[in-house]
Structure 1
């Protein structure tokens, strides 16, 4: 039996994978976005430190909700509100302006100050709206808090007629500057769209490295949503498949073939690296396991006696039958409330999505467009389902609106797999075949903004899944 290797998150074992950034590439754009500018933050040396304003710029640009201006178009770069020339900025038809600074505090501590400026405000009329953030005296008007804490960490938010929409300061270590940039982007996103941001979330996927004359190696990977801070949790010469996030976002369930090629269901805590064997079950494990919303059990598909059934497995491996009709029943995914389960079945002749009502045990068919609709999962609000739709020649990502009863194909590719919603439900992650390798793509719900997480080395990135938080 080939040995599986557990690796601490802090150790970079795979140079071609760990610690490298999967830089996103914008492939298409959309109109009617919120116009905004994110100006460079004043910052100390070293220049190699994370550029917080660049992180904010990237997050907002790639969200599909904002039109972020090119800073090369400007010749004014204020870092405090009192230096903002409103007449100048109103010439650019912007709704808002992000300004700020990063100030060294000593002892590897940095104070990050930011202000979201309302450019509909044509003058500063109230001294109370003035910011006292000043890079020369290192002071700030708001409570200083770590981005990893919640106490005293609520941003100051003012009415729409104020010059200040948001203003806040953080004190963090240099290694946390990228995370605080994501956190600021979340705050701006929520202020201007009314919905929570997703920029501090994680993704997981399986990296498959193929070498000539050598068996492939498999790595269970976790990364920031944008591909930075990529780290392997597990490396094995035997297949690793179908990772699934726990509801709290601290564990992954996955299938491993390390035991003489026989599939077994494991969970792993992404922080402690503690691994737990749920069970090796009679019959072959099929499809992706699905955590129940309370995190106490997993819905799994098992192939046995000529059919594929869906059972509930406790974390101790005890099975309870859930869906046992004839044929193939696989790929379960829970509604966040726990009231229903969507799954794939061929019970009516072709693979389609069905919904099981947990209380009544009633099953109803959800998809009727074409002969192939699989791999469904609910949006966080439960009003949409993302899925893989096949038309006989190509396989694309489809979106089923359960409220409007509308079905839309949102990608245009030959092969698309494993779609997963972002935590706020506004963006979808999936994998696709490009130039001979499996790549990861992030796309807006209308499919008009698509972002590629480029392949690293010779690895294929497959079966991606987005964390729930």
Structure 2
């Protein structure tokens, strides 16, 4: 069993909490029609097809056909009648069969292109009965990739901060991790003091965040699989905005130990610090370029918050954002050529998409009153962000083209500061057929 899986079993599954529940608020009229037929399933095993269907739906790329509208319910390839699906205007069909042997589940699945009347992909996923949802997410990942040529990210996790009792005498903060669909939420840490800016290491085994449990801001590195916590920055002043480098060997952050907040980089192994920015302004919210050679960050050196980039070796910087008087919290997309950030329009805050080279206009992806803290799925297809709904903090997810948006509200408190995990290792086995 690999270390990331051990971590979630030992630390997380011991403290399950209420899951987030997705509510789709905006759909894509141009989505491909897909039929995920109920899988052949033995007695006592829940059908995985609804999980696969919902994963594909929330990607924004697919519009599922309801089971009651299906003209047939094939479970094997020779039972697929393409004429039945053409009548319904179906683009793709997914079928599957589940087998159970003692405590092991194996699902064999097939994806078909209706217009071409051919099989696109087939495979077999095996795991424990307790990994029922994980198996379904992997099936959805493989189906998604077979159609879009983009790796699926349904098997990833999202981390967030849940605040209970805000404004009362006894508020509490919880750092939680859930599946990408908000299910299987597990508690990583609970504190009577604020937790901010959680971020993942690229191996998915370690996270970093800001904690105020000592009475002031500290940056803590937390190993999920052991629960080990190390304070890596506890200087006088502010210690904020940790962000791991793409290779996990360095941690960028904003520190005011020498006066005003500046960007620093810490070598994780040696704990040696290097100052990256030197300016009388506030420099904060660093994020690494994909090659690890540059850091993109927020600074008010122009008089208001704007986005800049700096080379970590030459320390030469350049302004990236010019539209509007407030642009902050940048995030680099996996293509390395575009970024997301928070942009203010008429006193409201939205997540926007923009080329890194400033060669085009911003594209507004969200249209709520207060959207902040964007984080990108590792395949670049979806963005999770924090927003407000009836004065309560909640999470939203929007497709990278802005066509599909949905909410992950919590019944327990205010949800904020989301962070999407990298691709994670797994104990499931997959075989392409």
Partners of 1:448 and 1:291 lie apart in 2 by: 30
Q: Who is 2:27 aligned against?
A: 29
Q: In terms of mean alpha carbon deviation, does 65-74 or 343-352 score higher?
A: 65-74
Q: Who is 1:128 aligned against?
A: none
Contact 2:21 2:182 in 1 (8 A): yes
Q: Say yes or no: does 1:412 pair with 2:367.
A: yes
Give runs of aligned pairs for residues 88-237 of structure 1, distance below 5 A.
88-105=84-101, 107-122=102-117, 163-210=118-165, 213-237=168-192
Partners of 1:212 and 1:375 lie apart in 2 by: 26
Q: Which has the higher contact order (CA 8 A, sep 6+)?
A: 2
> Structure 2: 5+ residue runs without aligned partners?
1-9, 424-433
Partners of 2:144 and 2:69 lie apart in 1 by: 23
Contact 1:279 1:317 in 2 (8 A): no
Q: Who is 1:357 aligned against?
A: 311
1:273/1:73 Cα in 2 relative to 1: closer, same or farther (>3 Å)? same
1:51/1:281 Cα in 2 relative to 1: closer, same or farther (>3 Å)? farther
Q: Say yes or no: does 1:40 pair with 2:32.
A: no
1:171/1:468 Cα in 2 relative to 1: closer, same or farther (>3 Å)? closer
Question: Between Structure 1 and Structure 2, how many residues are aligned?
Answer: 412
Partners of 1:282 and 1:61 lie apart in 2 by: 48
1:276: Cα distance to partner? 2.1
Contact 1:208 1:217 in 2 (8 A): yes
Q: Who is 2:323 aligned against?
A: 369
Larger Rg: 1
1:397: Cα distance to partner? 0.8
Q: In terms of mean alpha carbon deviation, does 380-389 or 54-63 score higher?
A: 380-389
1:239: Cα distance to partner? 1.3
Partners of 1:318 and 1:448 lie apart in 2 by: 44
Task: Give the root-mean-square deviation of aligned CA atoms.
Answer: 1.7
Partners of 2:97 and 2:375 lie apart in 1 by: 35
Q: Who is 2:299 aligned against?
A: 345
1:213/1:243 Cα in 2 relative to 1: closer, same or farther (>3 Å)? closer
Q: Who is 1:276 aligned against?
A: 230
Aligned match for 1:9, one of 4, 9, 12:
12
Contact 1:40 1:77 in 2 (8 A): yes
Partners of 1:264 and 1:211 lie apart in 2 by: 21
Partners of 2:338 and 2:173 lie apart in 1 by: 32
TM normalised by structure 1 equals 0.84
Residue aligned with 2:146, SS: helix
1:72: Cα distance to partner? 1.4
Q: Who is 1:301 aligned against?
A: 254
Partners of 2:79 and 2:192 lie apart in 1 by: 59
Partners of 1:392 and 1:306 lie apart in 2 by: 33
1:171: Cα distance to partner? 2.7
Residue aligned with 1:90, SS: helix
Partners of 1:211 and 1:319 lie apart in 2 by: 35
Q: Who is 2:411 aligned against?
A: 456
1:305: Cα distance to partner? 5.2
Contact 1:53 1:181 in 2 (8 A): yes
**Residue by residue, what CA displacement relative to the aligned partner does 1:237-266 show, whole Å, maximum 9, x if unpaired?**
11111101111122110111111x122111
Partners of 1:359 and 1:463 lie apart in 2 by: 30
